[in-house]
Structure 1
Amino acid sequence: MAAEMQSLVAQWKNLKTQAESGELMVDPEIGTALKGHAEQMKTKLDTMLVGIKQLDKLSGFGTLATATTLQGKFERKASGDNASAVERLKQSIEVVTLMAETYEKATRTIQDTDQSNSQKLANMDTGAK
């Protein structure tokens, strides 16, 4: 995984941990919108991942040795090695999945906190008569 992608994954894992512990809270309306956008991005990336599989076997390069070498290089660039387009898409899917999960947890945290505070206030004796 490229250093930049590793950094993004680490950053979102950290934010997810903060959301789980209650340190990170997001307004429910904003969090829901952000989660929806992340899920849309994931859907687009999933579609691209399916489409890129068509590049596994390329043709039309000819029969010369240099042509077949070039063909193999392009096929590996699509799906054959760690720097391939398939791997990059999978890494991006991991990041947007973490984003969606983080937004959901951060939204739930603020809702749970609000509910708890509301119950505490309702149970308090105000002393008014």
Structure 2
Amino acid sequence: MSDSGEGDVAQMQAMVTRWQTLKTQAEGGEFRLDEQIGRALASRAEQMRSKLQKMADKAGDLAHTSGFGTLGSAQALQAKFARKADSGDDAAVKRLQQSIQVVTLMKETYELAIGKLQESDQSAADKLAALNMGGA
């Protein structure tokens, strides 16, 4: 069962790395998007980030469980559920924060990609205008 958790963590880290690479490419102008598409994608990423943040806020409350009884095994089970919610390596809150990091990178990447396209368009327009003025 821990193998699945480790695989999930590796998969999440791979996504973070992939989006960091795309963000770097967008910063350098290698990755560009149409403005309308980029804005729609950035907006959707922000909506996802907001929903994930609300889920993370609620997940933290899951650490406060009760009704397990007074037996030692019940107390151990209660502690396990609390760790699974917000403090263990595979905790819900930690996983949600990782997802928030990914969608934040996505949003920033989309914004950079449309910004670079706009800069490129403006630069081309400026060059064209300069040529037209020089040729007139």
The C-alpha deviation readout for 1:74-98, integer Å capped at 9, x for no partner, is 1100012121001001100100000
TM-aligned CA deviation for residue 53 of structure 1: 1.5
**Separation (CA, whole Å) in 1 of partners of 2:102 and 2:93:** 14
Residue in structure 2 matching 1:90, options 82, 91, 97:
97
Number of the residue aligned with 1:32? 39
Length, aligned pairs only: 128
Residue in structure 1 matching 2:87, options 59, 77, 80:
80
Amino acid in the other structure paired with 1:107? I
Residue in structure 2 matching 1:111, options 105, 111, 118:
118
- TM score, norm. by length of structure 1: 0.95
**SS of corresponding position for 2:67:** coil
Higher relative CO (Cα under 8 Å, sequence separation at least 6) belongs to 1
Gaps of at least 5 residues in structure 1 are none
**Separation (CA, whole Å) in 2 of partners of 1:77 and 1:105:** 36
Q: CA RMSD in A?
A: 1.3
Identity among equivalent pairs (%): 52
**Separation (CA, whole Å) in 2 of partners of 1:109 and 1:3:** 31
Gaps of at least 5 residues in structure 2 are 1-5
Residue in structure 2 matching 1:44, options 51, 68, 75:
51
